[in-house]
Structure 1
Amino acid sequence: MTDQTRSLDTLTRALLDAAAKAGADASDAIAVDGSSIEIDVRGGALEQAERSEGVDIGLRVFVGRRVAVVSSSDVRTQTLTTMAERAVAMAREAPEDPYAGLAGPDQLVRHWDAGPLELCDPAPEPSPAELQEDARAAESAALAVDGIGQVQSASAGYGQRRVHLAASNGFSGGYSRTSRSRSCVAIAGSGLTMERDYDGDSRTFQADLRPAEEIGRRASERALERLNPRKPRTGAWPVLFDERVSSSLIGHLLGAVNGASVARGASWLRDALGEQVLPAGLSLIEDPLRPRIAGSRPFDAEGLPTRRRAIVENGILKGYTLDLATGRKLGMDPTGNAARGTGAGPSPSNWNLALTQGPHSRDALIAQMGTGLIVTSMIGATINPNTGDYSRGAAGVWVENGVPAYTVSGVTIAGNLRDFLLRMTPANDARVWLGRVIPSLLVEGLTLAGE
């Protein structure tokens, strides 16, 4: 076996051995290899084809409570030795971190099986010609819609990746992933009145992808819906966040319950455990064990087991998102949410999320809102992490008497997250195959700055 053909398991063990010889008290290593191909089509012809493949490795060493991380894409034996020596030298110069350290044996995942998670599609890798035909079909369907002058991009891609993690505490494990995608961006109108919008899909299994023709057509329909926008009236109005953008609201809540933010004191939910943060009846569930979902995994980046848990249950905040270090700092148990790449140490990250869906359709909520705004896209963000004060630019559709009336853009939405998340009403239109299953959300009484 040559340096270039060693398995990821062998590479991580070699890194740990090199770290121990260099003087590390403890260490963990990650190795990732994979390949990806992306095809872009314009005017029915191939515009760009990109393929990448390679192996990346990362090493984290501990010298007492001092830590350093190094990474490389060179897997030769001499490089591993050099990496370990440099990492140990860096760690000796680093400040002490009282919360640093590997998991204890009793914290590590004991039995795991990635098979039921279906993270890797056994179907053959698509050929470049197949991907080009995907992109061409999406572009052709988009251009067939009346009023569409051009397609900015039509793309198709495929990727596969293997990851292996090992640590001096005895943990060693890995798994493989695949992904397949199609996307299209269409442009309607001309000159200064041009508007664009997109559609796309990304799945673990190729057979689950929505048809390329549907993606192209929907991108065009969305672009046409954005033509001739006006500015809405300034005032306090109900706002319905469309399912395509509603996950951003939940994303702000997730940022506030992230252990790194809480430990720094930079979170508007830093003292909110056990308090109501969503309307009664709504729960936010994290489940990293859902089959065929990109956010699923059998263990986290510190070798801890992943599990289904309620972040919010019946409106009450039940827990923060913690890795080992933030858990130690807050005096709490880790939640199995450590994520890392090859060039940095672990940090808390959420996996798959689902918010309780409501009994009513999106259209029913639009009728209920009377006069207000449907938000279909958002730009920029000003979020005060300490107070939850919220301000974002938006575009969408103005509603009069429960009926969509005209397109709007150039509007700013403002409020306080802690306040208005308690006034959410969910629809029942969430896409269940996404990593964040969040329906359209109606929020009463937000401030809109328009005309």
Structure 2
Amino acid sequence: MTDLSRLTDALLSAARRAGADQADALAMDGTSLSIDIRAGKLEQAERSEGIEIGLRVLIGGRQACVSASDVSDATIAALAERAVAMAREAPVDPYAGLAEPEQIARDWDLAALELADPAAEPGAAALEAAARAVEAAAMDRAGITQVEASASYGRRAMHLAASNGFSGGYGRTSHSLSAVAFTGTGTAMERDWAAEGRIFASDMPGAEGIGRLASERALQRAGAVRPKTGTYPVLFDERVASSLIGHLLSATNGAAIARGASWLRDALGQQVLPAQLSVVEDPHRVRISASRPFDGEGLPTQRRVIVENGVLTGWTLDLATGRKLGMPSTANAARGASSPPSPSTSNIDLTPGTVSRDELVAQMGTGLLVTSMIGSTISATTGDYSRGAAGFWVENGVIQYPVNECTIAGNLRDMLLRIIPANDARAHLSTRVPSLLIDGMTLAGA
């Protein structure tokens, strides 16, 4: 594995020699391997390895970012000179700048987060065997016409260093298996999927269970029709419910707030969820894919409550958006090699409910259970919401038949104030949001 800290040190030294006042450098090294099986045949076997370096320089309130995949000394020197030349031509940004030395993270416990599987990288043959096991389990059901199965592995390392004294890095691994099962033909064709991913291979569930679940879901979709048009309760299945909280998080992102382009721009300190619900970010959950000891600007990450008992308590901020809004950073900076930091959340939890999804189905009377969504028309400034949906029609609290080709609509601010959560959030996910019931949404169908 490449010494990433050496590369970031070389980038910072080159930036100083080129005339930068401040700089930060990012180096990333990764390996990925994937196998795809389609209709019983090996569709694709792909392996990629690569390294990427990025440099941000600041000169008198002006900044520029450059990146490269060549790590030679000549390239690093040229990269720094190019970055400094670009920064001198950039507009002044009074909010750009590194953290003060007293703000940066120190003495974190990386081992406690368990972000990387120490086991050896799986070979292509092992991944193919796993993908074929997923496919075989899905095909072992009458009515399934085709299966697409995939298995993948990834290992990625990063190191971030800055002229303010920060230096740190970590690695991640990922293992995943998935299947898409098809039933029917022509215009009557339906499909559904199942997938699992973990940091540690030993935590992965069995391939057969993933395949069986994909086929069961696909078969349940057979014979889907358009539902009735009207105003009905809508229950968002756990697989899609996190998108609703995602809209809330986007609207509380400091970048949107600073631009005045958020439907929650005036909602700080106001109720945005039912009073018994909170949204909590915890970047330190063990063996979770989005956990991290520090953010993209080297600040120490920490647990924070974004919504407490229904009340919005703060924005998601990096250093620049925090300065623009007159607030401290919430240590939520994320960045790539070729772009400056921007605010982004990590692990999110919505307070779970006390009943199962089936109990919410029984409570909802007549309405729509949504299991998949496509497309969207969502206004960032007003929160008006409209999405294509498919799922199951419910009458008298009992699932009756599958439905598709419908649209659900409402306003996010009103919708989120009326959510009723189930208790079925999956523990291993970075974003843990259970199924959510919302009464009185507009449904456009047949």
TM-score interval for Structure 1 and Structure 2 normalised by the shorter chain: over 0.9
Superimposed CA distance per residue, residues 13-45 of structure 1 (whole angstroms, 9 cap, x where no aligned partner): 000000010010000000000101001123444
SS state at 1:423 partner: coil
> Is 1:170 the equivalent of 2:165?
yes
One of 58, 63, 66 as aligned partner of 1:62: 58
Q: Distance in 2 between matches of 1:148 and 1:109?
A: 53
Match of 1:30 in 2: 26
Instruction: State which of 80, 83, 88 in structure 2 corresponds to 1:84.
Output: 80
**Structure 2 counterpart of 1:158:** 153
Question: Identity of counterpart residues, as a percentage?
Answer: 65
Match of 1:291 in 2: 286
Residue in 1 that maps onto 2:335:
340
RMSD: 0.9
Residue 418 of structure 1: which of 406, 413, 418 is its match? Answer: 413
Give the counterpart letter for 1:138 in structure 2: V
Write the letter of the residue equivalent to 1:210: P
Tell me whether 1:117 sits opposite 2:113 in the alignment: yes
2:68 aligned partner: 72
1:13 to 9, 13, 17: 9
SS at match of 2:212: helix
| 1:384 alignment partner in structure 2 | 379
The code of the aligned residue for 1:335 comes to T
1:46 paired residue number: 42
Q: Does 1:326 align with 2:331?
A: no
For residues 367-397 of structure 1, give each alpha carbon's deviation from its aligned partner in whole angstroms, at most 9, with x where no partner exists.
0000000000001111111111101110000
Name the residue aligned to 1:144.
140
Shift of residue 171, structure 1, vs aligned partner: 0.3
SS at 2:231 equivalent: strand
Other structure's SS at 1:106 match: helix
2:236 is aligned with 1:241: yes
Give yes or no for contact 2:2–2:29 (8 Å, CA) kept in 1. Answer: no
Please name the residue that 2:369 is paired with: 374
The one-letter code matched in structure 1 to 2:11 is L
Give 1:98's aligned residue: 94
Distance 1:42 1:232, change over 3 A: closer
Q: Gaps (5+ residues) in structure 2?
A: none
| SS of residue matched to 1:40 | strand
Give the 3-state SS of the residue equivalent to 1:248 in structure 2.
helix
Q: In the TM superposition, what is the alpha-carbon distance from 1:110 to its structure 2 partner?
A: 2.2
1:362 aligns with 2:357: yes
The alignment partner of 1:442 has SS state of strand
Counterpart of 1:143, as a letter, is M
SS in 2 for 1:397: strand
- Structure 1 partner of 2:184: 189
Q: Say yes or no: does 1:108 pair with 2:77.
A: no
Q: What displacement does 1:224 show? A: 1.1
CA contact (8 A) 2:53 2:68 kept: yes
Structure 2 CA distance, aligned partners of 1:236 and 1:41? 42
Aligned to 1:367, what secondary structure does the other structure show? helix
Compared CA separation, residues 188 and 6, structure 1 to 2 (3 A): closer
For 2:416 and 2:41, the matched residues in 1 are separated by 47
* Correspondence list, 1:204-243, <5 A: 204-243=199-238
Whichever residue aligns with residue 99 of structure 2, its letter is: A
Are the aligned partners of 2:394 and 2:400 in contact in 1 as well (CA < 8 Å)?
A: yes
Counterpart of 2:88 in structure 1: which amino acid? R
Q: Could you say which residue in structure 1 is the equivalent of 2:305?
A: 310
The 4+ residue runs of structure 1 with deviation greater than 6 A are none
Partner-residue secondary structure (3-state), 2:101: coil
| SS class of match (2:255) | helix
Deviations 1:64-92 (A, max 9, x none): 10000000000000000000000000000
> Deviation per CA, 1:126-150, whole angstroms, max 9, x where unpaired?
1111100000000001110111011
Equivalent-residue separation in structure 2 for 1:126 and 1:329 (angstroms):
47
Distance across 2 between alignment mates of 1:231 and 1:189: 17
Are positions 1:403 and 2:403 aligned together?
no
Q: Which runs of 5+ in 1 are unaligned?
A: none
- Following the alignment from structure 1 to structure 2, what is the Cα–Cα distance between the partners of residues 146 and 208? 30
Q: How far apart in 1 are the matches of 2:396 and 2:373? A: 24
Per the TM alignment, residue 47 of structure 1 is displaced from its structure 2 partner at its CA by 2.4
TM-score calculated relative to the size of structure 2: 0.99
Shift of 1:7: 1.1
